[in-house]
Amino acid sequence: MSISLDVSRTTADQVVVGPCSLTETMATLHVLSAADHHPEAVRLIQQTTERLDAEELDALFSFSPLWSRFRCRLFFPLLAGATVDWEATLQALADVDDEVFVVLAAEGILGLGRASEAPVRDLVARGELVTACARRSTLRAELAQRLLSDPARFRADLAEFLQLCWDRFMAERWHEGRRRLDDEVQRVRLLLSRGLPEALAGLTDNASRTVSPGVVSFDKLATQRIEVFPRRLHVVPSLAAWPHVTVKDSAERSELPIVIVYPVRGLTHGISQRLLLDRLGALSSASRLELCRHLLGEPITTSELAARLDISESQVSRALRQLRDCGLVESWRHEKTLRHRVVVERLQALGPDIVATVTR
């Protein structure tokens, strides 16, 4: 499954590259609200939640459907230009038309997007939004009821909570990370000089060019093809989004840009699904697993491996080739011999059970 962006008719002046303070806030709130899915952020979660009192933590919980898995479109760039300034992004949110705000907020609360049984606009019009949300969770139903009962109050409460988060912890995090974000912007702009498809495919490991010219595919749990032209495309690097890559398109709102949010390289990041399957497949063989056990402690030659495993050198070479092709083994020539070893950090990244099995 994938989301494909067709940028074949999109020109460089239709692409905006830059971080968004509101999107970064949303990504951080997502982590705080989904601690069980982000074990790498335990320290951040503890430090941040310590700055909020019980009532403020309740607000974080009650609004959490807006930034859980689906992520409400309201928190992505709404303007045509740069979205660095916090006050400007918050003002852009305040300027959203009331009807548009309700529909986009309702879409975020329901959290199904194109998988919804009916367009959110119709659910709101027919008074069925709360019922649809209740089928997902009580929390979503309560937040939907709160939105529909008093949209103006809902907007005010949400804006107040976002400002609270900015003042308590986000402003500090934003300013600390700006240099890394700015460096990433320069990297992407350099990629853009080589062509838009190449630049988008170079954003993240789960992006790739397709056989269709000008089409870039993002590995996601959705199937969608988006024609970018004539709309704008915002490319938003993030320090808080890891490991998620998000592609947002509100097709009914042509005035809103299409947005790609991706984690900055240099952070811990995953590998492509294809490479993961290749590595797991390489270790699914008992003989290759045994070979890895020998290579873990020291570099070994092909002939010595054959002697230890009591198999032919050609069999060893075939097994090594599969492990080497997926990056689990390195080989180099030393004088007249070819030596091999396991790349330990890549093995460790696959999980503790695999490491324990290989090292025991």
Q: What is the pLDDT of residues 165-174, one digit of tens each?
A: 999 999 999 9
CB 320 within 8 A of CB 300: no
Higher-confidence residue of 90 and 267: namely 90
Q: Highest-confidence range of 120-124, 125-129, 245-249, 341-345, by mean pLDDT?
A: 245-249
| pLDDT for position 210 | 87
| pLDDT for position 1 | 73
pLDDT band at 269 (very low <50, low <70, confident <90, very high): low
pTM comes to 0.76
Closest CA to 64 of 151, 118, 136: 136
Question: pLDDT averaged over the chain?
Answer: 89
Q: What is the pLDDT of residues 6-38, one digit of tens each?
A: 999 999 889 999 999 999 999 999 999 987 777
Q: What is the pLDDT of residues 40-80, one digit of tens each?
A: 778 888 888 899 999 999 999 999 999 998 899 999 998 76
Pairing relationship of beta strands 233-238 and 207-209 according to DSSP bridges: unpaired
Structure tokens at 352: 């503790």
Within 13 Å, how many C-alpha atoms sit on residue 118's CB side? Answer: 12
Residues in CB range of 160: below 8 A, 6 or more apart? none
CB 72 within 8 A of CB 33: no
Does the structure show a pLDDT above 60 at 267?
no
CB 355 within 8 A of CB 285: no
- Domains (range + CATH), the chain: 2-263 (no CATH), 273-359 (1.10.10.10)
Structure tokens at 224: 């969608």
pLDDT band at 251 (very low <50, low <70, confident <90, very high): confident
Q: What is the pLDDT of residues 202-237, one digit of tens each?
A: 998 889 898 888 999 998 877 889 999 999 999 999
Q: What is the pLDDT of residues 125-157, one digit of tens each?
A: 778 889 989 999 999 999 999 999 999 999 999
| pLDDT for position 242 | 85
| pLDDT for position 126 | 76
| pLDDT for position 250 | 82
Structure tokens at 109: 């609360």
Q: What is the average pLDDT across 187-191?
A: 93
| pLDDT for position 253 | 80
Higher-confidence residue of 264 and 82: namely 264
| pLDDT for position 266 | 65
> Where is average pLDDT lowest: 213-227, 263-277, 296-310?
263-277
Q: What is the pLDDT of residues 82-120, one digit of tens each?
A: 577 999 999 999 999 998 999 999 999 998 865 455 567
CA dist 154 and 137 (Å) reads: 19
